[in-house]
Amino acid sequence: MDRDRLTLADAAEEYRRWTPEVLGALLEYLDAIPELPVGPSVEPGWLLERLPSDPPGAPEDFAGVLEDLRELIRPALVNWQAPGFHGYFPANTSWPAALADFMAAGLGQQGMVWATSPAATELEMRMLDWVARLCGLPEHFRHDHSGPGGGVIQDSASSGTLVALLAGRERCGGRPALADQVVYHSVEAHSSVIKGARVAGFAEEHIRAVPTDEDLAMRPDELARMLDADLASGLVPAAVVATIGTTSTMAVDPVPGIVDVLDGRFDPGGPTRPWLHVDAAMAGAATICPEHRHLLEGVERVDSYLFNPHKWWGITFDCTTMWVADRAPVIDALSITPPYLRNEATESGAVVDFRDWQVPLGRRFRALKVWFVLRAIGPGAIADMVRHHCAEADWLAARVESSEHWDLAVPHRLNLVCIRHRAGSDTTRAAAAELNASGKVLLTVTEVAGEAVLRLSVGSPSVAHDDVVRLWSLVQEAGAGAYIQ
């Protein structure tokens, strides 16, 4: 083979040889993780300084690429899979998911419509039904139910929320009504809700943050007050976003109470009813355990619901599972069919074209990793992992309750423990900085009622009880040290 004239098509033989090497490099990295600093250990620009400005001319030996992966890329990674990773929410991964993404890349499917990949489309439909069954979601969300509902994989919760807002915009008068349309979310909602509302074109002054109660959950009475005021001034409520498991503290908005407020003002299923979307990006994953299904109370009465298997099911980022009770407003908002996308299958009405359920046209074969993980690891092991993480968070919360320096900032829920130092925000922040600088753990800080709060999120696939014991002793040391300063 002439290396200088290697083509995309004839590299297969060469890469048969490199595939085990790539696998080996990954194994070596995964084995090394416990010894690596968890957070970034390079300064801004470190990698840029080491990457050539000019693209390669002739093909290079792949051995050099692998060497640079080790020397240049690895040091600039954040080790999200490390047992000391307690930041943000997890984005945990697994071997079957990684192999599925490899397979999906090699299969090279473009699943924009059924006709461009029946496999990607129908596997996705069945996987969304499986996940709905595994989490005890209402049956009208499933494709195998005769109604207009169904599920789709979005690239992120942010995209799913944007789609929900577009569906609300569509159902409540469409773009002609946009200037008067209003969106409601709790003050604790994820920033993606505001971003989505802006992208969807809602006026900034019509994006309303509903106050929360002492548990940081949306107050239905405040929502009712805002809706009534807006209706009285001729505005058009178009969407309400509730959160099950907020990012800061895992607070849960009262979905049944929110639905009651809507029922009291709008006909269920009526054309003027604001779209009720539930963002359960993190917490929704826990409903694979029957003991956490109470979180879903009221979800059978909402328009759309999503969670992120890419956070907590080991189904490598990106994979947001989203369900709608009625697909029509979504498709009305997002379907445009130029001549080059017309095809018999679409026109027959017998297929699902997922391009109409999302913003971009093209779509990856993400269902493959759901299929691989559910079949190879199994729902039982995922539920056990969730239980293990929650039990470790319970253990941590109990330690905090009897601690000399730290308090729980809010009652802890699922795998998240939010704590604050008794000496105040500056000390909490100083302790966090010290912990992160140690490289042994990675933690993030949020604010509750203007006060700094350290979030301890347990979700690494490899975290063991000993790691959590170590985390707590590091937090105690940092707390004690910070206190003295």
Question: What b/e string do you get for 213-249 counting C-beta neighbours within 10 Å, with b at 16 or more?
Answer: eeebbbbbebbbebbeebeeeebbbbbbbbbbbbbbb
Candidates 86, 171, 190, 369: give the one binding ligand PLP (CB under 6 A): 190
Binding status of residue 281 toward ligand PLP by CB under 6 A: yes
At position 28, the amino acid (one-letter code) is: E
Distance between CA atoms of residues 369 and 99, nearest Å: 8
- The token pair that represents 119 in the structure block: 């496999």
CB of 158 to ligand PLP, least distance (A): 3
**Which range touches ligand PLP (CB under 6 A), out of 16-24, 59-67, 279-287, 455-463?**
279-287
Q: Is the dihedral of CA 78, 458, 215, 284 positive or negative?
A: positive
129, 230, 279, 467: which one binds ligand PLP (CB under 6 A): 279
Among 92, 94, 117, 158, binds ligand PLP (CB under 6 A): 158
Cβ closest to ligand PLP, residue 246 vs residue 346: 246
Min dist CB 190 to ligand PLP, Å, is 3
Neighbours of 10 (CB within 10 A): 11
Q: Which of residues 247-276 bind ligand PLP (CB under 6 A)?
A: 247
Contact region for ligand PLP (CB under 6 A) — 95-103, 278-286, 291-299, 339-347?
278-286
Please, what is the minimum distance in Å from the beta carbon of residue 444 to ligand PLP? 10
Under 8 Å CB-to-CB from 82, ≥6 apart: which residues? 33, 34, 36, 38, 442, 460, 462
* Positions in 383-442 near ligand PLP (CB under 6 A): none
- Interface positions, 70-99, toward ligand PLP (CB under 6 A): 89
Residue that the structure tokens 């690891």 belong to? 377
Would you say 89 or 354 has its CB closer to ligand PLP?
A: 89
Among residues 128, 152, 282, 419, the one that binds ligand PLP under rule CB under 6 A = 282
For the CB of residue 247, give the shortest distance to ligand PLP in the complex, in Å. 4
Q: How far is CA 202 from the centre of its chain?
A: 23
Nearer to ligand PLP, 245 or 479 (CB): 245
Of 39-47, 241-249, 397-405, 475-483, which segment contacts ligand PLP by CB under 6 A?
241-249
Q: Which helix (H) or strand (E) holds 30?
A: helix 12-32
Residue the block writes with tokens 């992966």: 69
DSSP string, 200-211: HT--GGGEEEE-
- Choices 155-163, 331-339, 370-378, 424-432; region in contact with ligand PLP by CB under 6 A: 155-163
In the chain, the amino acid numbered 110 is: Q
CA atoms of 446 and 452, how far apart (whole Å)? 6
Whole-angstrom distance, CA of residue 36 vs CA of residue 46 = 18
Q: Given the complex with ligand PLP, which of 308 and 346 has the nearer CB atom?
A: 308
Task: Candidates 81, 308, 316, 428: give the one binding ligand PLP (CB under 6 A).
Answer: 308
Residues in 316-355 that interact with ligand PLP by CB under 6 A: 320
Query: Identity (one letter) of the amino acid at 338?
Result: P
Cα–Cα distance measured from residue 207 to residue 401, given in angstroms and rounded to the nearest whole number? 38
Q: CB-wise, 62 or 88, nearer to ligand PLP? A: 88
Q: CB 192 → ligand PLP: shortest distance, Å?
A: 5
Give the residue from 325, 337, 322, 309 showing the smallest Cα distance to 112.
337
Q: Of 345, 366, 368, whose CA–CA distance to 159 is shortest? A: 366
Residue 281 or 333 having the CB closest to ligand PLP: 281
Residues 6+ apart with CB under 8 A from 144: 129
| Shortest reach from residue 242's CB to ligand PLP, in Å | 11
Minimum Å gap between C-beta 293 and ligand PLP is: 18
Q: Among all chains, which residue has been given the structure tokens 């006709």?
A: 115
- Of 116 and 158, CB closest to ligand PLP: 158
Alpha-carbon distances, residue 372 vs 308, 376, 383, 394, 459 (angstroms): 16, 6, 16, 31, 21
272/446 with CB nearer ligand PLP? 446
Q: Rounded to 5 degrees, what are φ and ψ at 455?
A: -95, 125
If binding means CB under 6 A, how many residues of this protein chain bind ligand PLP? 15
Radius of gyration, alpha carbons of the chain: 24
- What token pair was written down for 337? 């069919």
Residue type, 482: A
197: tokens are: 């509302």
Respond yes or no on whether the N-terminal peptide bond of residue 318 is cis (omega within 30° of 0): yes
Contacting range for ligand PLP; rule: CB under 6 A; set: 151-159, 234-242, 287-295, 363-371? 151-159
> Is the CB of 249 or the CB of 428 nearer to ligand PLP?
249
The nearer residue to ligand PLP, 94 or 249, going by C-beta atoms, is: 249
Residues that bind ligand PLP (CB under 6 A): 89, 156-158, 190, 192, 243, 245-247, 279, 281-282, 308, 320
